[in-house]
Chain A
Amino acid sequence: MADENNDARPHKRRWLVPLIFLPFPAMLWVPFFNSAEPALAGIPFFYWYQLLWIALGAGLTIAVYFATE
């Protein structure tokens, strides 16, 4: 196995890495999303907001992966 394969730390633009921690404030500040309104297609805010953050969190991670690799 080549040694550069083992170097898994971001090489460039490492300052972008903290962006992947955005879901922490977004999902831990519970009063912000603990409501039924605004509902989306009948789905209460509490649920679609948190489901949306799964996609946002993954999107941020993918973006940071490519930006730093």
Chain B
Amino acid sequence: MTINWTALYVFTGLFGFITILGFLAARWRQGDLSQLHEWGLGGRRFGTIITWFLLGGDLYTAYTFIAVPALVFSAGAMGFFAVPYTVLVYPMVFVIFPRLWAVAHRHGYVTAADFVKGRYGYRPLALAIAATGMVATMPYIALQLVGMEVVIGAMGVHGHLPIIIAFIILAAFTYTSGLRAPAMIAVVKDLLIYITVIAAVIIIPAKLGGYGAIFASVAPEKLTLTPPAAGSLGGYSAYATLALGSALALFLYPHSMTGVLSASSGHVIRRNAALLPAYSFVLGLIALLGYMALAAGVSSKPEFAEGFKLYGANFSVPALFLDQFPSWFVGVAFAAVGIGALVPAAIMSIAVANLFTRNVYKEFIAPNCSPEAESSMAKIVSLVAKVGALVFVLNLEQRLAIQLQLLGGIWIIQTLPAIFFGLYTRWFDPRALLIGWATGIGTGTWMAWSLGFKTSTWPLTIFGVTMPGYAALYTVILNLAVAAVLTLILRAFSATTHEDATVEADYR
């Protein structure tokens, strides 16, 4: 591929702009950045609009924008599960998360593991929650780089240097500005995404003869799920469980927690549960770009052969943009994806840093460290997390990052019983929750391993009916069952001595 200079200039210009913004962010709503809740949660001062941009930039990542249409491009209707997934998540946010925000605000909790420690008074469980969050997030950061690499490669620039430069920029402004930097950059990123998507869903169908013509050009069996054979729920249960399981897992990720806890009140969270579906709508339109790429026939055009060989189906949307847009607008669209990688990568590394500092360093290594030492530790850990992700992408196969991210979803959902149920009841025994968590992690990992890490859809058979479904959902049900039964057993034999630092009024 030859270098697309016009696109590259626009891309670089926009990147330069957000770099400056990232450093200026340190002065925005100035706080004492030597305090962890100031650096790592933006001082819990973000209102409705900034939280909307921040969470939008955080959850709808560059990788989403590349991978979801790529899945629709290659697998058809099954790839559309991202739409029910992002619809189902918000009612849960509306009901559950104002409670978490309130108790976190009352007690100064910065992470979900902080809450679990306060609620259950059992350090091994809090450590398990923190470790799960850190391990599940690392491959997610790496995947953001994969998304960025695809668009930079699509402009004809190869090699690892651009990614390394982007990462140094990211690391530097995260270090100096903390969560304020991605919050500010998210505004630019989201505006670019909205401009790109609105242009794409108007201009491209107009060129391809309208939506009817686009859908008509896709093989009919690809447009809907294959009806299941007798004795199986086939694609139906797979589709529904992938949507539900992903929705349950999304807000358990540390970077989502960070976004929620940085809001200035529970009202802000409830308003965002109503406003964030705007991004889901954009995601639905982006998913349809996969079909537009099919209709435009990009995979059979010789100029894109190299890109498809390098990046597979992930190249379908970049190829579509190169095929349909003028070069300068390709630059805008690719900048949206590139910056769309930086925002979540920054928030994820901050979330990992918060977890390590609060729940490992301060808890087990330096219990008496000062707030300043705590904050500088977090800054250093955010660097380490990013360097780790960078080394990952540069040295290991891209496929491994995708497989680990798949495992990450199965792992992170195992924190659900302790966190979601913990917000409503102290009924569960923390020791039972820990064993339930271990059971879920073990079974889920085994399922993914026995499927060769190719898919997370497990063919569960009950009474002769096969229900292929998302391993994360099946294993978290097992996790809950184990925790419930063990709680009853432990209760019968020994009284729990673990203290609850919270009272019901803290959750309102």
Q: In the complex, what residues of B have CB within 8 A of residue A62's CB? A: 274
Q: In the complex, what residues of B have CB within 8 A of residue A44's CB? A: 215, 223-224
Please tell me which one of the listed residues A6, A24, A39, A55 contacts residue B281 in the complex, with CB atoms under 8 A apart: A55
| Bound form: Cα–Cα A20–B508 in Å | 20
Does B270 sit at the interface, judged by CB under 8 A? yes
Please tell me which one of the listed residues B87, B227, B265 contacts residue A8 in the complex, with CB atoms under 8 A apart: B265
Mostly, the B contact residues are helix
Does B394 sit at the interface, judged by CB under 8 A? no
Residues of B80-101 whose CB lies within 8 A of A: 80, 83-84, 86-88, 90-91, 94-95, 98-99, 101
With A27-B88, A51-B83, A53-B87 known to touch, is A6 a contact of B224 (CB < 8 Å)? Answer: no
| Bound form: Cα–Cα A6–B223 in Å | 46
> A17 CB to closest chain B CB, in angstroms?
7
A42 and B84 contact, CB distance less than 8 A:
no
| Bound form: Cα–Cα A27–B9 in Å | 43
Q: In the complex, what residues of A have CB within 8 A of residue B244's CB? A: 24, 28
B94 and A20 contact, CB distance less than 8 A:
yes
With A27-B84, A61-B273 known to touch, is A43 a contact of B284 (CB < 8 Å)? Answer: no
Q: In the complex, what residues of A have CB within 8 A of residue B278's CB? A: 58
B211 and A54 contact, CB distance less than 8 A:
no
| Bound form: Cα–Cα A21–B86 in Å | 13
Closest residue of B by beta carbon distance from A50: B83
Does B239 sit at the interface, judged by CB under 8 A? yes
B91 and A9 contact, CB distance less than 8 A:
no
Residues 1-42 of chain A, each 1 if its beta carbon lies under 8 Å from chain B, else 0: 100011111000000010011011001111100111001011
B95 and A17 contact, CB distance less than 8 A:
yes
| Bound form: Cα–Cα A30–B228 in Å | 11
Does B426 sit at the interface, judged by CB under 8 A? no
| Bound form: Cα–Cα A14–B77 in Å | 37
> B120 CB to closest chain A CB, in angstroms?
23
Interface centre among A8, A21, A24, A27, by most B CB within 10 Å?
Answer: A8
A50 and B84 contact, CB distance less than 8 A:
yes
Q: In the complex, what residues of A have CB within 8 A of residue B274's CB? A: 58, 61-62, 65
| Bound form: Cα–Cα A2–B239 in Å | 44
Q: In the complex, what residues of B have CB within 8 A of residue A24's CB? A: 88, 91, 244
B267 and A8 contact, CB distance less than 8 A:
yes
Q: In the complex, what residues of A have CB within 8 A of residue B275's CB? A: 58
| Bound form: Cα–Cα A1–B212 in Å | 53
| Bound form: Cα–Cα A30–B102 in Å | 36
Q: In the complex, what residues of A have CB within 8 A of residue B273's CB? A: 61, 65
| Bound form: Cα–Cα A22–B169 in Å | 44
Q: In the complex, what residues of A have CB within 8 A of residue B88's CB? A: 23-24, 27-28
B98 and A8 contact, CB distance less than 8 A:
yes
Q: In the complex, what residues of B have CB within 8 A of residue A21's CB? A: 91
Closest 5 CB pairs of A and B: A8-B266, A42-B212, A8-B98, A58-B277, A27-B84
Binding site for B on A (CB under 8 A): 1, 5-9, 17, 20-21, 23-24, 27-31, 34-36, 39, 41-44, 46-47, 50-51, 53-55, 57-58, 61-62, 64-65, 69
- Can you name 15 A-B residue pairings with CB atoms under 8 Å? A5-B264, A8-B269, A23-B87, A23-B88, A27-B84, A27-B87, A31-B227, A34-B225, A41-B211, A42-B211, A46-B77, A46-B224, A51-B284, A62-B274, A65-B271
